[in-house]
Amino acid sequence: MVLDILGNFLFSLASLVWTSFWYCIPIFLIVFLVGRRLHGFWREKAGRSWLQSAFLSSYLIVFVLLIIAFFFPVWQAFQDSSIGVPPPELRVTPVEMGAQFVLGLFRMAVVGILFAVLLLPLILLGEFVKDWLKTRIPNIWPRFFIAVWVVTFILVYLLLFWLSWVIPGLIYLIYWA
């Protein structure tokens, strides 16, 4: 009985580590290839503080990802719209389409601010792990990857076990709020 509980716990922990590893690969690519350059630009060339540059770089990345996630179903629907011709009273005018597009951009800008604020503690934790590993691992690639993996592990743990209501809430914010 006790060994069964211990086995379940160990397999669940291994599954959580494995899942966070696969989630951290695209996050690492985005953070290392795009986020690091944006952060460096805001920090060095624009003269912003660490917090401002972290917020601005995460906001830009999140905003682009939200635009893709929000408008992808619309683009898919436009491909299927040539199947038939809707009656004149149901057709969407170009003004209505433009207004929906501008409203969608505004909504994604507001949701992007919320996401960027929610990401700031995770960015700070990632910076702490990266700085802690600086003396142990001299190369920047593994240091970044381990920092992203630790942050992704904590994020997956929090979203699965403590904050499971956040995922449906964020999906609601993106598509229906």
Within a domain: 164: yes
Q: How many domains does the chain have?
A: 1
Q: What is the pLDDT along the chain (177 residues), one digit of tens a residue?
A: 666 888 888 898 899 899 999 999 999 999 888 988 888 888 888 888 889 999 999 999 999 999 998 888 877 877 766 666 777 777 778 898 889 889 989 999 999 999 999 999 999 999 999 999 998 998 888 999 999 999 999 999 998 888 888 888 888 888 887
In this prediction, residue 81 carries a pLDDT of: 63
Within a domain: 166: yes
Quote the tokens at residue 40. Answer: 């460096």
Within a domain: 127: yes
Instruction: Compute, in degrees rounded to 10, the torsion defined by CA atoms 106, 112, 114, 119.
Output: -170
In this prediction, residue 90 carries a pLDDT of: 77
Within a domain: 111: yes
CB 149, CB 127: distance < 8 Å: no
CB 59, CB 116: distance < 8 Å: yes
Domain that holds residue 11: 2-76+93-175
Within a domain: 84: no
In this prediction, residue 4 carries a pLDDT of: 84
Within a domain: 116: yes
Within a domain: 87: no
In this prediction, residue 174 carries a pLDDT of: 83
In this prediction, residue 116 carries a pLDDT of: 93
In this prediction, residue 125 carries a pLDDT of: 94
Within a domain: 88: no
pTM over 0.85: no
How far from 86 is each of 74, 81, 82, 91, CA to CA, in Å?
17, 9, 10, 6
